Chains A and B, each alone.
Chain A
């Protein structure tokens, strides 16, 4: 029911003006109502502008400058980009990173999926197994790095000691060989982790009717896996793929703590190069240019993934 205040002239008010005033008041209330959500969004928006948009644009500008934080930036055009392209060490770090991404991302997805499939089987003590599976992912990187240093140590390390028991010669140079060391870090990071949890959640969302129908049709387990489970998990796979890709391009902490990027740049990943240029060498311009190169590479890969996702990702509710 319409309020009498809004529907008709009121005593003491000029009949010609009263509706206009009320309209304006109503419009004011509507405006405030429309404004309110934006006010709630304002803190987030200010945060994004201040801590994300501004630094991103600022880094783009500084990628064309010499800048050490303490003195005014000096514009040098594309020189940072040209110098980086000409630098062997940058290429080496980029190749290390691409190798790491190319192996660890699919490896992590497969391990995560296999772990999720195992942990989706109804057995006794399932909550315990699920907890144990996620525990390694909760260990802080610094702590894990210290433990892994011990594990890979050529002299006292667990792996070499184990290999010796199996009859292999002791003293394999895991961290002092520039080729081997890359694979150590790749191997270290291939684990289920959060991706496994997401796959597990996805598995529990696959409708039971589909499995029942497959069973009635006489599908074997392996056929059910490839024809029902995996297609139904593709949205989760896409999500895991994207997040692990972005994470892998940012590989930094473990090699920094364990080998400092050595030996001879064997474990220098792109993130370390950015860090060293920015904070150790005071070359913010170089670091910004490195970051933008990484951003462009990552964006290209993510773009390709999205472009192709329509052909391999199945959404139950339609694409």
Chain B
């Protein structure tokens, strides 16, 4: 029987091909036309609204030079930047209310459920028809950042790469009796060194800390499967596995870092010496904390505040984070930042051309100049000088030396925000002593499983 009409795929392919042809035509030189009525000139000006709250101000502003560079290319597209923190909840309400921007920038953990619930626009067909863009440029599993259930919803841009490492101040490790060039290699060593580094003033206030599991990268639950060597979600994304012996053991260990100095002391110290290494007031950047779990942006973060803190880059050591599976060298290769389009955008093709621009070598060099961090693509890696930032080479070598490489996609769940919240709750319940690690994890596992089951129920 002869098929009638087009299937959706055929229609999209045809539309993509037509769009591609139109783009090619638009890119033809217009020199033959002296009256300026070439295709590009004839295209209606379009504004693409982009929202991000990351690296958007003063000296650390990555976006302005990248957008200027895009505008210099002379397309019909103007980028309008909303410099506002992006959260899943405001994204959800903006998309539901039809007021969302055209492009969101966000690290992957916060957008997993939005991909899973169809809030974001699938990009596979658009990408297939886009010229001058090849997803194969990405190193490792970075491309997985924007994917859910085999569909691409986002394009990784800007910061990405290997994480987490254990980073330490060499002189403090020496003070704690460790080897300053090797750092802690087991959880036991990490705990002992951390205890040795605790210092209090005459009033009993903590003035120097060793290691804080909530610091920097440790704030997110996706940091912990790598160093506990066990995931919290099954491969088919249908079963939570927080109620395992490995997670209970891991939670017991990491809460000990708060119980040793006392939770009020630790909280007060954290209030004074902040977590985020992008700020000059960061505890680790100022050598007020001896060790930290962090990613490939750490050397750049130290470099950017060296004038304020006086802490030199080569005084920091880097190594594989201690693992519950003792001796295992494991990292997550690729979790990073991603650009998404909400399904409400009406300028998808134009937005995509900006997203692709953000993956370019020029943008990579701008970010590297400002932050000494970048997206890990083959062309960008060829264009940057790793030796210009002491410590950075370790992160680029780590994937080659690791025994186990994790992909960002392994951590994603359709109930990710709840997963983050409940993990924090379990940590607190154990630190304040209202539950054992087993009970706390069993309770959050039950609650999360209920939500996960409901999600799958709506998908069937």
Chain A residues at the B interface, C-beta cutoff of 8 Å: 66, 68-71, 74, 83, 87-89, 149, 153-156, 164, 169-173, 175-178, 260, 262-266, 276, 279-283
In whole angstroms, what is the CA distance A299 to B273 when docked?
46
Asked if B27 is at the interface (CB within 8 A of a chain A CB), the reply is: no
Asked if B136 is at the interface (CB within 8 A of a chain A CB), the reply is: no
State whether B264 touches A171 (Cβ < 8 A).
yes
In whole angstroms, what is the CA distance A262 to B425 when docked?
7
Q: Which residue of A lies closest to B203 (CB)?
A: A170
Chain B residues, Cβ within 8 Å of A154: 264-265, 267-268
In whole angstroms, what is the CA distance A265 to B415 when docked?
20
Q: Which residue of A lies closest to B113 (CB)?
A: A282
In whole angstroms, what is the CA distance A175 to B263 when docked?
10
Q: Which residue of B lies closest to A71 (CB)?
A: B458
Chain B residues, Cβ within 8 Å of A88: 443
In whole angstroms, what is the CA distance A127 to B271 when docked?
40
State whether B458 touches A68 (Cβ < 8 A).
yes
State whether B431 touches A263 (Cβ < 8 A).
yes
Nearest 5 pairs of A and B residues by beta carbon:
A155-B268, A173-B264, A279-B89, A264-B428, A263-B428
Among the listed A68, A164, A172, which residue makes an inter-chain contact with B117, where contact means beta carbons less than 8 Å apart?
A: A68
State whether B118 touches A71 (Cβ < 8 A).
yes
Among the listed A156, A175, A280, which residue makes an inter-chain contact with B272, where contact means beta carbons less than 8 Å apart?
A: A156
Chain B residues, Cβ within 8 Å of A89: 425, 447
State whether B265 touches A171 (Cβ < 8 A).
yes
Among the listed B113, B118, B271, which residue makes an inter-chain contact with A155, where contact means beta carbons less than 8 Å apart?
A: B271
Asked if B93 is at the interface (CB within 8 A of a chain A CB), the reply is: yes
Asked if B41 is at the interface (CB within 8 A of a chain A CB), the reply is: no
Contacts A154-B267, A279-B92 known; 12 new A-B pairs at CB < 8 A: A70-B95, A70-B118, A71-B118, A71-B458, A154-B265, A155-B272, A171-B265, A263-B263, A263-B428, A265-B429, A280-B417, A280-B418
State whether B204 touches A263 (Cβ < 8 A).
no
State whether B415 touches A281 (Cβ < 8 A).
yes
Q: Pick from B95, B96, B264 the residue with the most CB of A within 10 Å.
A: B264
Chain A residues, Cβ within 8 Å of B117: 68, 70-71, 282
B104 to chain A, nearest CB (A): 15
Interchain Cβ contacts under 8 Å between A and B, 25 examples: A66-B454, A66-B458, A68-B458, A69-B92, A71-B118, A71-B458, A149-B271, A153-B268, A154-B264, A154-B268, A155-B265, A155-B269, A164-B203, A169-B204, A170-B204, A171-B204, A263-B428, A264-B432, A265-B428, A265-B429, A279-B89, A280-B421, A281-B415, A281-B417, A282-B92
Q: Which residue of B lies closest to A277 (CB)?
A: B418
Q: Which residue of B lies closest to A72 (CB)?
A: B458
In whole angstroms, what is the CA distance A156 to B207 when docked?
12
Chain B residues, Cβ within 8 Å of A176: 263-264, 267, 432
